[in-house]
Each structure stands twice: as C-alpha cells, then as structure tokens.
A = this chain, B = another copy of it.
Amino acid sequence: MVDVARRAGVSLKTVSRVINNAPHVQQQLVDRVLAAATELGFRRNHLASSLRSGQATATVGLLIEDIANPFYATIAGVVAEVARQHDTLLIIASSEEDAEREERLLRDLCSRRVDGLIVVPAGYDHAFLRPEVELGTPVVFLDRPAGGLLADTVLLDNRGGARAGVQRLIEAGHRRIGILLDSIGVYTMRERLDGAQDALAAAGVGYETRLVRDGIRDPVGAAAAVADMLDRPDPPTGFFSLNNRITLGVVEELWRRRSDAALVGFDDFEVAHLVPRPLTVIAYDTRALARTAAELLFQRVSGNPSWPRTIVLPTELVERGTAA
C-alpha cells in the first residue's frame, strides 16, 4: 500500500480510502491510485485489515462431525449460502465425534477471530467457550444442545418424531418392534429412543430390551442385527430404525429374506422411493434446520443482543408403505 501511495504520489491513507472506497476523495486521485494499484499488482491484506479494525474477519466457523456425511454436507451448503449473502466465508472443521478434537478446533477457530460459530457438538462440556461468548463471539448450537453453556440452539423434534413413528407401527398392529440405534451416547439417539419408549408406554406395549440393539455403526451391522433378531423365537414383526444408515441395512436384509416385516426409519434419504419397497420414514427439513441456525447466527453477529433462544423444528411422518 505504501508502494502504491508512492507511485500515485499520494499518502498511504488516501490509498486506504480509495481501496475501501471511502467518501471525500477526488475522482482524479481515485483514478491515479487505482491505476497504480493495478500496475503494482496490489493485493489487499485482509489479515492486517481485520487485525487493525478489531472486528469483521468476514469468516464464520462451522464445526460438524464429518463433512463427507450427506446430512452435514447439506448443512454446510446452506450455511455457506447464508454466509455468502453476508459476504462471509466459511471455515469448516470436522470433529469426527471426538470431544477433545472438537475443543481444539473450536479454540483454533476462536484464535482466528471468526465472527461467529455454528457447532454440532460432539462433546458434553462447552464451558471453555464462555470467555469467547462473553467477549462477543456468537455461537449457535445445531442439532444437539451445548453442555454447560447457555447459547442459542436449534434442534429437531427427535422425540416427537420417534413417538409418531412407533405409534404408527403400533396402530398397524405391531407389538414386537425391533429398535436399532447407533449409540446411546449420542444425544439424538437418546431422544429418539425416548420417543419410541413414549409411544410404547402410551399404547401399553411392554419395552423389551432384547428388541433394542445398540452400537450399530453401518448398514452391514444393521443387516446382521436384523438377521439375528428374526432368527430368534418370537421375532419382531416390525422394525424402527433410528437413522438412515441403519435403515439401509434393514432394508437390505429384509429384501434378502423377502421378509415383509414392517419398517419405519428415522431420517429420509434420497433414494427412499427407489429401494425395493418404498420406505416409510420420519423426515425433516435439514435445510431449514441449517438455515434457521445460520440466520440466527448472523442476527447475533450483527448485534442482536436478546436472550439465547432454543428453537425446535418439527419432524414429519412420511408414509410410503412399509409401516404396515
């Protein structure tokens, strides 16, 4: 910038004014400076700018589990789009469900002075973020609540959705319902399981531990669990799967056996209408979820100081034929 100033025969400050097209600069000088800048290949240093002005790195951080997962990729896409509307770039970091790594990444993002953070938490303690929040970095939690920190949060109605799904199976006459979940350690899984239990209890159907399978990581594991349950005495006549990876495995196994057991799955997925039997699922609007969080964040960034909110978005039972 000092070089540009010398070349244009003006002061450093005038160059700064031109670059930021501030008012009160003669057109003639503007032209001279611009010419000098392009001749010298001037490249503004965004770092120095945000260092000096103290705020506005025009960057927000998004912390998720795994960017390659379509759910998070959708979220990232929406957040990036909202960010773009605010002329802001997005740093995306994946925690891989590791609380320690999550903390490291969040601290790193803060040390980069991001204007705000959207976090899908992996850990259970986010108290370490309190200083940052108090010093003015807004944080919005997405899909799961924060631990030990009062902050804006946008959630799905996991419990209500699961309740509706299991209720539907019960209405169709099922009493032995196999429930498959990823990990009871994950907030959404706990909520969904609670919802399923709500529905069972409300219908006076007993909750049988043998019908609940935890720790199912992938479609293969799901298929194996289904096979095992079906091969035992008093097999389930219906299945409730708590996420779409599991649902996929259940579908595969049922199809392999030509079983007509009922199935309701949490999470919709793109090819749900293409698989052998069209699937009944608990669907929700992932994009709306992300958009809500992102818009809330940018409200905070632009200074809305109201009390932290928790927003719960609805889920919907989409019937496509496998509930009966």
Which of chain B's residues has its CB closest to A66's CB? B77
Alpha-carbon separation in the docked complex, A271 to B76 (Å):
23
Q: B92 and A90: CB pair below 8 A?
A: yes
Check A45 for interface membership: any CB of B closer than 8 A: yes
Could you say which of A84, A105, A252 has the most chain B C-beta atoms within 10 Å of its C-beta?
A84
Q: A111 and B51: CB pair below 8 A?
A: no
Q: A111 and B77: CB pair below 8 A?
A: no
Q: Which A residues from 102 to 121 make CB contacts under 8 A with B?
A: 105, 108-113
Q: B271 and A41: CB pair below 8 A?
A: no
Q: B108 and A80: CB pair below 8 A?
A: no
- Stretch of A2-10, A67-75, A153-161 that contacts chain B: A67-75
Given A43-B131, A67-B77: A89 in contact with B89 (beta carbons within 8 A):
no
Which of chain B's residues has its CB closest to A93's CB? B89
- Nearest CB in chain B: distance from A287 CB, A: 9
Chain B residues with CB under 8 Å of A276's CB are: 274, 276
Given A59-B91, A91-B59, A274-B252: A73 in contact with B80 (beta carbons within 8 A):
no
Check A46 for interface membership: any CB of B closer than 8 A: yes
Chain B residues with CB under 8 Å of A78's CB are: 68
Alpha-carbon separation in the docked complex, A138 to B97 (Å):
31
Could you say which of A93, A109, A110, A274 has the most chain B C-beta atoms within 10 Å of its C-beta?
A274
Check A299 for interface membership: any CB of B closer than 8 A: no
Q: B77 and A68: CB pair below 8 A?
A: yes
Chain B residues with CB under 8 Å of A77's CB are: 66-68, 94
Check A319 for interface membership: any CB of B closer than 8 A: no
Q: B89 and A90: CB pair below 8 A?
A: no
Check A48 for interface membership: any CB of B closer than 8 A: yes
Alpha-carbon separation in the docked complex, A93 to B48 (Å):
22
Could you show 11 A-B contacts with beta carbons less than 8 Å apart? A41-B131, A45-B51, A46-B111, A67-B80, A67-B92, A81-B94, A89-B91, A89-B93, A90-B93, A91-B91, A274-B276
The chain A residues found within 8 Å of chain B, CB to CB, are: 41, 43-48, 50-51, 57, 59, 66-70, 72-74, 76-78, 80-81, 84, 89-94, 105, 108-113, 131-132, 135, 248, 251-252, 271, 274-276
Known: A73-B73, A252-B274. 9 other contacts (CB 8 A): A43-B131, A43-B135, A46-B112, A46-B113, A47-B47, A59-B112, A68-B74, A76-B76, A271-B271
